[in-house]
Amino acid sequence: MTDETQPRTDGGTATALPGDSHDDGSHLPPRWSIKRWLITTNHKDVGILYIVTAMFFLVFGGMLALLIRAQMWAPRAPGEGILSAMAYNQAVSLHGLIMVFWFLSPIATGFGNYIVPLQIGAEDLAFPRLNALSYWLYLASGLMVFASFFQGSTFAGGWTLYAPLNIPAFMPSIGATTTVFAIVTFCASVTVGGVNFITTIHRMRAPGLTMRSLPLFTWSWLLTVWMMLLAFAALLAACMILLSDRLLGTTYFAMTTDGGSVLWTHLFWFFGHPEVYIVFFPALGAMAEIFQTFSGNRIVGRKWFIVSMVLVALQSFIVWMHHMFLTSINLEVKTLFMATTIGISLPFDLMVFALIYTLIKGRIRWDTPMLYAFGALVLFIVGGITGVFLGAVVLDYEFRGTYWVVAHFHYVMVSGATALIGALFYWFPKITGKTYNEFLGKVSFAVFFTGFNLLYFPMFLAWGTPRRVFAYRPEYLVWHRIASVGAVILGISFLLIIYNLTKSLISGDDAAANPWPYSTTAEWAVSSPPPLENFPGTPSYASGALEFLGSDDDGSGAAAATDGGHATEHEEVHVDHASVWPFVTGVFSFVTVIGLSGLQVGSYPAGLEGLFYQATSVVGVVGLISAISAMGYENFTAHEGGFGETWPFGGVENTKMGMWVFLASDVVLFGAFIGASIFLRVAYGWTNWHPVPHNPIPGLVNTYLLLSSSFSVILALVAAKKHSRKGIVASLVITFVLGLGFLVNKGIEWLELFHEGVWLDSGVRASTYFLTTGLHMGHVIAGLLITAYLIWRAWNGAYSEGSGETLEYFGLYWHFVDIVWLFLFPLFYIV
């Protein structure tokens, strides 16, 4: 039984098919070519790009941390120390932002990219080009952060970006705008990535691999991307509103807007608390994999571990106000959020115990990955216990804004980083095909663990120090000194890690397909590194264990013949692995943002500088639209998958599912915008607030226009079923004309208001009206651009001869836009 059902892991079989010969077929240059890395859409390449880039940002964020610790070497009088007050505030803010957004999440995304498709038996992600686009948007957003340091000053208000310090009245530098833009771009990257991973994991699993039997790392990553999709939409809304305040002069967060500051804290923490778990979950999943492999035990209570993760992911959206116990929220709300906060700690207790009990009766091997994973769990326990202190509201009252919080969340977040470094060592042989230096790896862990505790533990002892200051009471001097020494030691450990891995990459021994005894997941069943199409045949768990079915025997799979060399070559559908457009889109996103960052409260700077920003904006926007259009027009075939469909995703094509998932994030985006309007209206006084447009009739007309346009999209679908080219074109033209009518009507209304002197900056009523309906109008404009494209394609017979699926996907989007209007119309025109 064993030999036949066991996958053939003797590397040789798998390596026979890959790589070079196949690369020609897919137009993908070899790995040593720079061009390959610019055009690749393969999930493994993109994963490597993510990991390497994230390591660069780790170094960048780490340098800022060392600057902070240098400044903290002694309590400083004004002007003393290596940093000025503003430079210190910038270092503090960007250290946090970079570590959270540009290191922790992306390095996990790197593993998600590389490992998850292998674990679930998918040849690639559902939308390979969107995956590359996620990466290039991420890199572009990171480069925006770099650039922001050279535009006067970068953001200097803390990673929480509290209002109203974040608006131009208090932080006028162009670099601050660029930083907010960078976050918006990062949100876009995350949303695109989330849609991709959710579709892939729900739809493209190997046959027989049910949701229940997904490996734990894949489970953790699936929940991470779900949380990302919904939480980052809230951050996107917050930062879009902030950008509107900064660029256009709306007054959401202005000092004089009632409720503006508190609105920011709600929007930010609605994102911010799930973000903690977004950062920690992949680390938890990696810990679970490493604990199982290196103890030689299957995880204890696997089912309950998964249930706990799901519970945490759900609960993460109802704890955000525990960051706001000292604002003016009332006792009832505090009590509620205190209860949910305790509630979310309990599933974590279970997971920690499950990991610990997995050690029992194991044969634990203390290779570097296990040292890091084990160390991470120890640190996480300390972080968890000190978090309970903060859950007690009376204690939180005193700890708020102090080093207790700093120490606590570093124990949690950096323990996540510790586990991810373990993951880096764990998967290094798989990703590179090389073996790292074990001795140096263990040394690096010893240095890391020492440095970590020297750095963060004294912060508990010096907890009376306020956060983000460099003047502190002299009695804390010794603790801050020890912390600074620890920071240097921790920094050295990262140099050791990077040296070890780089050296091993160049001159390490070749790694076996499966270097770790007792590993179980599918990535170890293929060569190191895996071939371009991942598997020597179609992976399947239908028989109860992994086997690779040759495509010759029609998937009947009698013998697990891993005759993969033929399998991929005989593949009938040609699958693409390269596109330059994601890269080009990333480049022009960067250019666009640099250009638009010059805009402040409706005007560009004077003189040559303003000219530069204006020209850059125009070049960027034109390039961006062209690049996205080119990507849409490009022919690109991806793997469809569709083996592991389960309710409710059965029979739903990838693109349709992707559209639904995207709309889910759009619901949160609009929800946040509408919620912000309602929140500000309540603070303003509900009944004193009158709709901005004097006359609801144009709005009512627009409601009818949009509803009829939804109907005409349905007519187009019906025509497509009847293969009537004329019918499709006619219905789409009607849709376009109705949509255009909506825009013209809206334009007239806005123009009238403008002439009356009512514009974006005329107070909070006007701000919410223009911005929220403006966001909707942006969606309408995007819809009309797509309609124009569809009309052109339909004219050439695209949907009358083939299937009308594209029309259906567009229809989903268009109906959604109409439904949103049904909420906006009463809210902004009638009540």
CB of 84 to another protein, least distance (A): 9
752 burial type by CB count under 10 A (0-12 exposed, 13-18 middle, 19+ buried): middle
CB of 683 to another protein, least distance (A): 8
Listed ranges 53-61, 291-299, 433-441, 696-704: which one lies at the site for another protein (CB under 8 A):
291-299
Q: Is 297 in the site for another protein (CB under 8 A)?
A: yes
CB of 215 to another protein, least distance (A): 5
Q: Which of 467, 570, 721, 722 binds another protein (CB under 8 A)?
A: 467
By CB under 8 A, the residues from 717 to 756 that bind another protein are none
Q: Is 302 in the site for another protein (CB under 8 A)?
A: yes
Structure tokens at 741: 């009518």
Rounded-to-integer distance, Cα 414 and Cα 283, Å: 10
By CB under 8 A, the residues from 480 to 539 that bind another protein are 514, 517-522, 524-525
Q: What sign results for the dihedral spanned by CA atoms 395, 398, 399, 403?
A: negative
CB of 262 to another protein, least distance (A): 6
Structure tokens at 184: 């918006």
Residue partners of 296: CB distance under 8 A and separation at least 6: 362, 363, 364, 365, 517, 518
Q: Which of 19, 362, 698, 774 binds another protein (CB under 8 A)?
A: 362
Rounded-to-integer distance, Cα 604 and Cα 460, Å: 46
Rounded-to-integer distance, Cα 249 and Cα 475, Å: 46
By CB under 8 A, the residues from 528 to 587 that bind another protein are 541, 544-547
Largest CA distance in the chain: 83
CB of 11 to another protein, least distance (A): 13
CB of 360 to another protein, least distance (A): 6
Rounded-to-integer distance, Cα 457 and Cα 453, Å: 5
Contact in structure between 451 and 487 (CB atoms under 8 Å):
yes
Q: Compare residues 84 and 603 and give the one whose CB is closer to another protein.
A: 84
DSSP H helical segments within 635-696, as ranges? Answer: 654-684
Other CB atoms closer than 10 Å to residue 618's CB: what's the count?
13
Question: Quick check: bond before 529 cis, omega within 30?
Answer: yes
- Indicate the residue type of 226: W
Strand 547-549 versus strand 538-540 pairing type = antiparallel
Q: Is 450 in the site for another protein (CB under 8 A)?
A: no
CB of 467 to another protein, least distance (A): 7
Other CB atoms closer than 10 Å to residue 697's CB: what's the count?
10
Q: Which of 27, 35, 363, 726 binds another protein (CB under 8 A)?
A: 363
| H-helix or E-strand spanning residue 299 | none
Structure tokens at 177: 């705008």
Listed ranges 243-251, 463-471, 801-809, 818-826: which one lies at the site for another protein (CB under 8 A):
463-471
Cα atoms in the Cβ-side hemisphere of radius 13 Å centred on 812 = 16
Q: Compare residues 143 and 379 and give the one whose CB is closer to another protein.
A: 379
Residue partners of 737: CB distance under 8 A and separation at least 6: none
Q: Is 292 in the site for another protein (CB under 8 A)?
A: yes
CB of 524 to another protein, least distance (A): 6
Range 575-599 burial, b when 16+ CB lie within 10 A, else e: bbbbbbbbbbbbbbbbbbbbbbbbb
Which of 6, 16, 2 lies closest to 527, judged by CA? Answer: 16
Q: Which of 9, 435, 551, 614 binds another protein (CB under 8 A)?
A: 9
Q: Compare residues 166 and 665 and give the one whose CB is closer to another protein.
A: 166
By CB under 8 A, the residues from 152 to 171 that bind another protein are 156-158, 162-165, 170-171
CB of 693 to another protein, least distance (A): 27
Q: Which of 3, 32, 328, 606 binds another protein (CB under 8 A)?
A: 328
Which of 748, 817, 749 lies closest to 784, judged by CA? Answer: 817
CB of 342 to another protein, least distance (A): 5
CB of 402 to another protein, least distance (A): 7
Structure tokens at 115: 């490992």
Rounded-to-integer distance, Cα 611 and Cα 266, Å: 38
Q: CA torsion angle for 248, 253, 258, 263 (degrees, to 10)?
A: 130
Q: Which of 183, 247, 377, 407 binds another protein (CB under 8 A)?
A: 377
Instruction: Give the 3-state secondary structure of residue 317.
Output: helix
Q: Is 629 in the site for another protein (CB under 8 A)?
A: no
Q: Is 311 in the site for another protein (CB under 8 A)?
A: no
CB of 415 to another protein, least distance (A): 13
For Cα atoms 409, 410, 414, give the angle at the middle one, nearest 5 degrees. Answer: 120
Q: Which of 298, 570, 721, 722 binds another protein (CB under 8 A)?
A: 298
Listed ranges 126-134, 288-296, 656-664, 673-681: which one lies at the site for another protein (CB under 8 A):
288-296
Instruction: Give the 3-state secondary structure of residue 645.
Output: coil
Listed ranges 138-146, 197-205, 212-220, 724-732: which one lies at the site for another protein (CB under 8 A):
212-220
For tokens 């998964």, name the residue. Answer: 306
By CB under 8 A, the residues from 243 to 262 that bind another protein are 255-262
By CB under 8 A, the residues from 385 to 424 that bind another protein are 385-386, 388-389, 391-395, 397-398, 400-402
Q: Which of 16, 59, 66, 85 binds another protein (CB under 8 A)?
A: 85
Q: Is 73 in the site for another protein (CB under 8 A)?
A: no
Which of 704, 701, 703, 735 lies closest to 717, judged by CA? Answer: 735
Q: Is 470 in the site for another protein (CB under 8 A)?
A: yes
The count of residues interacting with another protein (CB under 8 A) is 113
Q: Which of 27, 35, 82, 366 binds another protein (CB under 8 A)?
A: 366
Q: How far apart are the first and last CA of the chain?
A: 72
Q: Which of 357, 409, 612, 809 binds another protein (CB under 8 A)?
A: 357
Site map for another protein, 676-695, x if CB under 8 A?
-------x------------
Q: Compare residues 162 and 795 and give the one whose CB is closer to another protein.
A: 162
CB of 655 to another protein, least distance (A): 29
Cα atoms in the Cβ-side hemisphere of radius 13 Å centred on 518 = 15
CB of 362 to another protein, least distance (A): 5
Q: Is 122 in the site for another protein (CB under 8 A)?
A: no
Listed ranges 2-10, 99-107, 487-495, 804-812: which one lies at the site for another protein (CB under 8 A):
2-10
